[in-house]
Amino acid sequence: MMDTMTVGVVGAGTMGRGIAQVAATAGHQVLLLDRDEAVLQEAMAFLARIQDRAVAKGRLSREASDALLSRIKTTQEVAALAPCGLVIEAIIERADIKSQLFSDLEAVLSEDAILASNTSSLSVTALAAGLQHPARFCGLHFFNPAPLMALVEVVPALQTRAGLTAEMSVLMQQWGKRPALAKDTPGFIVNRVARPFYGEAIRILEEGIADAATIDWAMTALGGFKMGPFALMDLIGNDINYAVTESVWTAFHYDPRYRPSFSQKRNVDAGWFGRKSGKGWFDHSEGAPAPTVREDKELGQIILWRILVMLINEAADAVFWGVASAEDVDRAMQGGVNYPKGLLKWGEEVGVDRCVKELDALRDLYGEDRYRCSPYLRTRAAQGRGLF
């Protein structure tokens, strides 16, 4: 039943059209809903260009490409989604708008149809609370671009019926994805665990230890990350990255571990969002010179180790608080943000005891709760055990 059902996707923006492509590639008939006809037309034109490129590169035959596109139909009417067995919303991150959409969907869908949200920051439980049938609701958080990124965070609400997340995990595997089960907590796995990649990098910059280009060099050349934190913030958009950090910080009742940076806020205030505005941490204007990098390996290792130990600590804390299993945390960080290794595996490689000592040293130096060591790390180090 699952592999033959019609899938509805609401929102034809970058994420929605990507999810529609993933479902159609897996063989489903897909109904792509958006209120704006121009957005729907652009989405289909974009998907056609993607398929043309795949055909030109020999990855797909013209017949297969045409068949895939024919499985995606567009609509502006919620009622058209009535035949769907699963509907995934990928619209604006506003709880009131999402709740109204789910109310409209429940009026036309069968009682056994599954509803899912692609939210990255809202409470899945709170969204489910507004439904007539909350047991059929869960979070399916894809990562951008959806056709290329392997991870999907599967997030049950408190009200989600037993077995639904397992069914969704199997379905995501059938779609070629790597599902990771996450508790409904702020940021789920990735947006929580990844905060130090940005926050600690900015802290190092603010302290004058190194400039943005040198920090990025340390993380890529020495750490093996595909992008440095400042280049990645400029790609994501400082406005978006700052908003996610502020959202997680607020949701965790202003825990200093997630405190946003004044420096990034000033970039946002100035309209220095990154690539899309032409300037962010770096100058992206045409003809701008490449920033100078200080390729000092000793300094680079200090930078890498400080950011890495904070990431390992955050990953360990996610396990400690039951956000996800150790296996799912590592799967999420590799599949969702392309980290070179799972953070907990990395922690084992560098030494759990070494991580604890470094975190304690940072807390002693700065006197800030930001650097508190996760009980999971400390307990495992005391027991001489690994992190799995």
Lowest mean pLDDT across 15-24, 96-105, 234-243? 234-243
pLDDT of residue 113 exceeding 90, the answer is: yes
Name the residue with tokens 């069968």.
110
For the chain, what are the domain ranges?
6-181, 192-383
User: How far, in Å, CA of 172 to CA of 151, rounded?
Assistant: 9
Average pLDDT estimate for 149-167: 97
233 pLDDT band (50/70/90 cuts)?
Answer: very high
1 pLDDT band (50/70/90 cuts)?
Answer: low
Average pLDDT estimate for 61-80: 97
pLDDT of residue 242 exceeding 70, the answer is: yes
Among 154, 178, 180, 176, which Cα is nearest to 165's?
154
Count Cβ atoms below 10 Å from residue 25 Cβ, excluding itself: 16
Non-local (6+) Cβ contacts of 266 within 8 A are none
How many residues in the chain?
388
0.85 exceeded by the pTM? yes
Instruction: Report yes or no: 335 and 180 within 8 Å, Cβ to Cβ.
Output: yes
Angle subtended at Cα 240 by Cα 190 and Cα 341, rounded to the nearest 5 degrees: 30
Alpha-carbon distances of 75 from 23, 34, 79, 103, 118, rounded to whole Å:
17, 7, 9, 18, 19
Q: What are the φ/ψ torsions at residue 181 (nearest 5 degrees)?
A: -80, 125
Q: What is the pLDDT of residues 303-316, one digit of tens each?
A: 999 999 999 999 99
Positive or negative torsion for Cα 358, 360, 362, 365: negative
φ/ψ region of 155 (left if φ > 0, alpha if ψ in -120 to 50, else beta) reads: beta
Do domains 6-181 and 192-383 share one topology? The answer is: no
Q: Which residues are catalytic?
A: 120, 141, 153, 191
pLDDT of residue 146 exceeding 90, the answer is: yes
Classify domain 192-383 at the CATH class level: mainly alpha
Q: What is the pLDDT of residues 87-107, one digit of tens each?
A: 999 999 999 999 999 999 999
Count Cβ atoms below 10 Å from residue 197 Cβ, excluding itself: 23
**73, β-bridge pairs:** 31
User: How far, in Å, CA of 192 to CA of 182, rounded?
Assistant: 11
Hey, what CATH topology would domain 6-181 get?
Rossmann fold (3.40.50)
Average pLDDT estimate for 241-255: 93
Average pLDDT estimate for 271-296: 95
How confident is the model at residue 112, as a pLDDT?
94
User: How far, in Å, CA of 374 to CA of 370, rounded?
Assistant: 11
